[in-house]
C-alpha cells in the first residue's frame, strides 16, 4: 500500500489501584510503538536479522490517532471476558464503537490473560480490545517480557481480522498465503531456525506479530496480513476509515 489509513483510538482506563492508573505518558508510549510497528519504523524493520523472512516484512501504513483519554476508578480489580468493563455501570462505555477503536486498560484479567479482542462481525456495543496495564506501552507499570507494546499490535491484528499464524489448529490455515505452516503457538524467544513438522517442513515465522512469542522476538506482518487488515476498512470493509 502507498496510502495511510488513519484510525481514531479511544483509551479507557478502568483503574483500581495506584499502578493501574497509568500515566498519559504510558498511553502515549503504546500509541508510539503501535504506529512504529504499523509503519515500519520499529528498530527491527531494517534488513539485518538475516532470517529468510526478512524480505516479507511489510508496512501496514495504518496510523492511530489518540483521542482524549478517559479514566474511572472502578471497584473491580480482576475482570473476566464478559465485557463488563465496557459498560457505564461497572466500567466506561465505549466512544463511537462503530468507527473508533476503543481500548480498555484494566488492572487484571483472570486466567493470566494479557489481553483479548472482539473479532470482526461481533456486536457493536462490545467492539474493541481489553488489555492489562502490565502489558500496555513501554514505560511505567509495564512488565517484561511484554514491555515493548506488542500485546496491543497482536490484538489489533485480531481486531483487523487476522488469525494466529498457526491458524488456531495444528498446521492450520491463517488465510495468508505468504506465512508458513506452523505446528502450534511458539513462546519465549525461539532460536532461529525453528522448523515446523507440517507439510514441507518450513521454517516457522516466529517473528510474526500473530505468534505468541515475547515482545522482543515479534516484529513483523507479511504483505498478505497487511492486505487482510486493510480490507477491514473502507468500502465493503467492516469498519469506517477516516
Ligand atoms: N491474547 C494473548 C494473551 O493474552 C496476547 C499475547 C501477546 N503476546 C505478546 N508477546 N505480547 O496471551
Ligand atoms: Ca495491573
Ligand atoms: Zn491472539
Calculate ∠ Cα 227-224-233, nearest 5°.
15
Q: What is the ipTM of this complex?
A: 0.94
Cβ–ligand 1 distance for 139 under 6 Å, the answer no
Annotated catalytic residue within 44, 134, 155, 204: 155
Q: Which residues contact 47 (CB under 8 A, 6 or more apart)?
A: 54, 55, 57
Give the atom of ligand 1 at the shortest distance from the alpha carbon of 217.
10
Average pLDDT, stretch 62-77? 97
Pocket test for ligand 1, best of 105, 133, 148, 212 (most atoms within 8 A of CB): 212
104-150: pLDDT as tens digits: 999 999 999 999 999 998 999 999 999 999 999 999 999 999 999 99
Q: Does 155 participate in catalysis according to the annotation? A: yes
Q: Which residues contact 31 (CB under 8 A, 6 or more apart)?
A: 9, 64, 66
3-state SS, residue 209: coil
Give the distance (Å) from ligand 1 centre to CA of residue 13. Answer: 19
pLDDT value of position 49? 79
Cβ–ligand 1 distance for 164 under 6 Å, the answer no
Top-confidence residue, 46 or 213: 213
Gap between the terminal Cα atoms of the chain: 16
Cβ–ligand 1 distance for 206 under 6 Å, the answer no
Cβ–ligand 1 distance for 117 under 6 Å, the answer no
Amino acid at each position: 500500500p502507498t496510502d495511510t489509513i488513519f484510525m481514531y483510538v479511544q483509551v479507557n482506563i478502568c483503574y483500581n489501584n495506584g499502578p493501574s492508573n497509568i500515566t498519559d505518558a504510558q498511553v502515549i508510549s503504546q500509541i508510539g510503538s503501535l504506529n512504529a510497528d504499523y509503519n515500519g519504523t520499529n528498530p527491527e524493520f531494517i534488513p539485518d536479522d538475516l532470517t529468510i523472512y526478512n524480505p516479507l516484512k511489510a508496512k501496514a501504513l495504518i496510523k492511530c490517532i489518540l483521542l482524549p483519554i478517559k479514566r474511572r476508578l472502578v471497584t473491580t480489580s480482576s475482570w473476566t471476558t464478559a465485557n463488563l468493563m465496557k459498560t457505564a455501570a461497572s466500567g466506561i462505555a465505549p466512544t463511537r464503537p462503530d468507527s473508533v477503536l476503543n481500548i480498555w486498560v484494566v488492572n487484571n484479567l483472570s486466567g493470566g490473560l494479557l489481553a483479548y479482542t472482539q473479532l470482526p462481525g461481533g456486536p457493536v456495543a462490545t467492539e474493541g480490545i481489553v488489555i492489562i496495564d502490565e502489558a500496555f506501552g513501554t514505560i511505567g507499570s509495564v512488565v517484561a517480557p511484554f514491555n515493548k507494546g506488542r500485546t496491543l499490535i497482536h490484538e489489533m491484528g485480531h481486531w483487523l481480522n487476522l488469525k494466529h499464524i498457526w491458524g488456531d489448529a495444528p498446521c492450520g490455515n491463517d488465510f495468508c498465503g505468504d506465512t508458513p505452516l506452523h505446528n502450534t503457538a511458539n513462546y519465549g524467544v525461539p532460536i532461529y531456525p525453528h522448523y515446523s513438522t507440517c507439510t514441507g517442513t518450513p521454517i516457522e515465522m516466529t517473528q510474526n506479530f500473530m505468534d505468541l512469542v515475547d515482545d522482543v522476538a515479534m516484529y513483523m506482518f507479511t504483505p498478505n496480513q497487511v492486505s487482510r487488515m486493510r480490507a477491514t476498512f473502507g468500502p465493503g470493509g467492516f469498519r469506517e476509515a477516516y
